[in-house]
Amino acid sequence: MKQRVLVASNRGPVSYQFGTGGSLVGQRGGGGMIAGVTSGLEAVAAGASVTWICAALSDADRAFARRQDAGASQYSGVPVRMLDIPPDIFDRAYNHVANAVLWFLHHLLFDTPTQPQWDGPFRRDWESYLAYNEAFAQALAEEALADGEPIRVLIQDYHLCLAPRLLRDRLDGVSRDIRLAHFSHTPWAPPDYYRLLPREVGWAVLDGMLGADCVGFHAERWAAAFLDCCEAILGAEVKRADPGGVDMVGADTVGRVVYRGRVTHVAVHPLGVDAPALRDRARDDDVRAHMAALERAAAGRKLIVRVDRTELSKNIVRGLAAYRELLATRPEWHGRVVHLAFAYPSRSAVPEYRAYTERVIQMAAEITAEFGTPDWNPLILEVKDDYPRSLAACAVADVLLVNPIRDGMNLVAQEGPVLSERGCALVLSREAGAAATLHRDALLVNPFDVSETAAALHQALAMPDAERRRRSDALAATAAASPPARWFRDQLAALDR
């Protein structure tokens, strides 16, 4: 008998657009989390019966969700059930709570002299976040109780922190083999910062996640912060793994939380890349054409590449400031280096993100005006999403700059070395989750230290070819060691222990 697996996430594996005559045309959903889960699902699909539950994000998605057979519709062989959550509830839950509160919290992004401010409108937004999680919990319960098979439920990310407890309550008294996991793709805030949340909200988020049997993170430091919050905020009993002991089940388990009569195991599951698939995609004609165009634009100069969304936590402005300082303090690089900065628009519904994107564009223009010459453009900025061009940029990079303020993992830091054709040096923020696995061969920087980052860029540019190739190969091997299929199977295995 195949194991039944339910996956729940805000964004699903497919998004729809209206075609001719009102038809619906599906395309693969975007985002690092979706790519990881989709790749993991494809690898285990032969041994599991999978259903993916997600929110309808557009009018076309909602039209799909309203179809009578929406629950049975498939994409790439995976049944997808889209939830038609009322747009006003979705907007408040997604934009006002998940992205403007929880994302800001875990990435330590609040400008505390002015925000956050917990008032009446926020409480209304929080009620919408609860309703949004209730919709997912109800759909998961319906799927879980549809037959008598063992069920494994994998709930993804900060949008759905309340869903495990809400689902657990719906399953109360059901004598079935149903086990729940929640995985956070973000960092986790330490207790002192977590306490910025209203008391009832901070409690509800932790209590919601502890409805799961297993809670997972990309890096040990995020899992440790979660354990600290459970202890400090909830007063829960927390048992941390002894590095030299054998008191925890599974080498990936870093602790367990006893709360409300249940035990929740907390584990670390790093997510790397599917190296063979990534390299195969990079051999396609569209990527090769972009590679040729980028190399023509560089005209034999060294290439510093970054590929990011214009997300506040990605720290693009300080990255540009570091490049500016490199040019100001190291004139020997004038005319010998080009910075390809691909910064794709993100979360334009949030005012802070629109303002940040404008600041990125302004600063790029200032650098070009200050240092550019008739025969040398020191910086090429693109704010239009183009996946094949991003792959091409990683393939031709001499230096890859990844300097987030905080990041749950960061796939670009891993994709770059895997795609590199001549070896690239990685300048990496110590605050990225990926630093836990890549630190030996990357050049680690404090993301707030512009001068240190500029110095690291110089070191990377001046690095001997042999050393750059050695480091790049080692980084690629590490990234390939934890492919999405392994990440996905490890979560299922943790539930079965």
- How high is the pLDDT of residue 352? 82
| Best mean pLDDT range from 53-57, 175-179, 191-195 | 191-195
Mark whether 382 and 398 lie in a shared domain.
yes
CA distances from 101 to 69, 71, 198, 329, 378 (A): 35, 31, 11, 39, 37
Mark whether 466 and 491 lie in a shared domain.
no
For the chain, what is the domain count?
2
Confidence at 43, pLDDT banded by 50, 70, 90: low
Question: What is the CB-side half-sphere exposure of residue 3 using CA atoms within 13 A?
Answer: 21
305, 401 in Cβ contact below 8 A?
yes
Looking at residue 256, which CATH number applies to its domain? 3.40.50.2000
Confidence at 72, pLDDT banded by 50, 70, 90: very low
Mark whether 400 and 489 lie in a shared domain.
no
Of 419 and 41, the structure prediction assigns the larger pLDDT to 419
Q: Rounded distance, CA 164 to CA 167, Å?
A: 5
Mark whether 136 and 75 lie in a shared domain.
yes
- How high is the pLDDT of residue 104? 96
pLDDT in tens, 433-444: 999 999 999 999
Mark whether 222 and 292 lie in a shared domain.
no
Mark whether 202 and 256 lie in a shared domain.
yes
β-pairing, 379-382 vs 337-344, is parallel
**What is the pLDDT averaged over residues 467-486?**
96
Residue appearing with tokens 């005209």? 299
Mark whether 224 and 237 lie in a shared domain.
yes
Mark whether 116 and 253 lie in a shared domain.
yes
- How high is the pLDDT of residue 246? 47
326, 458 in Cβ contact below 8 A?
yes
Mark whether 113 and 58 lie in a shared domain.
yes
pTM: 0.93
Of 34 and 283, the structure prediction assigns the larger pLDDT to 283
End-to-end CA separation in angstroms for the chain = 19
Q: Rounded distance, CA 434 to CA 428, Å?
A: 9
Question: How high is the mean pLDDT of the chain?
Answer: 91
Mark whether 248 and 291 lie in a shared domain.
no
Mark whether 250 and 282 lie in a shared domain.
no
**What is the pLDDT averaged over residues 429-456?**
98
- Structural domain span for residue 304: 275-480
pLDDT at 29 over 70: no
pLDDT in tens, 136-176: 999 999 999 987 788 999 999 999 999 999 999 999 878 78
Mark whether 425 and 453 lie in a shared domain.
yes
pLDDT in tens, 233-269: 999 999 999 865 445 556 689 999 999 999 999 999 9
**What is the pLDDT averaged over residues 10-19?**
86
343, 378 in Cβ contact below 8 A?
no
